[in-house]
Amino acid sequence: MGKVGGPRPFWERPLESLNREEWEALCDGCGQCCTHKLEDADTGDIFHTNVACKLLDLKTARCADYRNRLDHVPDCLRLTLRNVPGISWLPETCAYRLRADDKPLHDWHYLISGDRDAVRAAGVAVIGKVISEVDAGPIEQHAILPEGYEAMLDEDDDDRDGDAYPNGDD
Ligand code: SF4
């Protein structure tokens, strides 16, 4: 009798068991980690933007020079076994986040579906949703604020106005 089952595919194995090639192949190609983030200096809150790294190919959501990306963008973050769990802004759909949490990949992941374009069809890829930093201008104008945050900022501004002129004098 033949053996039932076989070795688990690498995307179902613990991250620490993956070789370099398998690790790289885990990426779903969504491009979400290739957009710039802003950090509120007071609160440490992280805000996403719709501005992509200059190396991101906006039509494919792939890095235009992945192998040599650090030559062009020295602070490009390299995901590792050690840093993935601590990166709060990685999307919940990110294959590395899912596997670090011992969750399965989504059905649309190309390793499951066999379709590299399924990430776009699932609405997860940044294709059509971002602009390049080359064209964006001041990045602060591109923050994607959570619902209600703008109102909170307005209230803070009002409070600051009040503090500046506590007696109504100017
Ligand atoms: S967010 Fe995760 S899955 Fe998406 S491109 Fe970045 S590393 Fe790959």
**Sequence ranges of the domains in the chain:** 10-164
Distance CA 170, CA 165 (A): 6
- Which residue has its alpha carbon closest to ligand 1 atom 4? 30
Type and span of the H or E element at 100: helix 95-100
E-strand ranges in 4-156 read 35-39, 46-52, 56-57, 62-63, 131-132, 143-144
CB-ligand 1 contact for 100 (6 Å cutoff): no
Q: Is residue 61 a contact partner of residue 30, using CB atoms and an 8 Å limit?
A: yes
- Ligand 1 mean position, distance from CA 7 (Å): 25
**How confident is residue 130, by pLDDT bands cut at 50, 70 and 90?**
very high
pLDDT confidence of residue 10: 98
pLDDT confidence of residue 152: 58
Distance CA 121, CA 110 (A): 11
Given the CA of residue 27, which atom of ligand 1 is nearest to it? 8
Given the CA of residue 91, which atom of ligand 1 is nearest to it? 1
- DSSP lists the bridge partners of residue 150 as none
Tell me the per-residue pLDDT of 38-94, one tens digit each, with 9 for 90 and over: 998 898 889 999 999 999 999 999 999 999 999 999 999 999 999 999 999 999 999
- Which residue has its alpha carbon closest to ligand 1 atom 8? 27
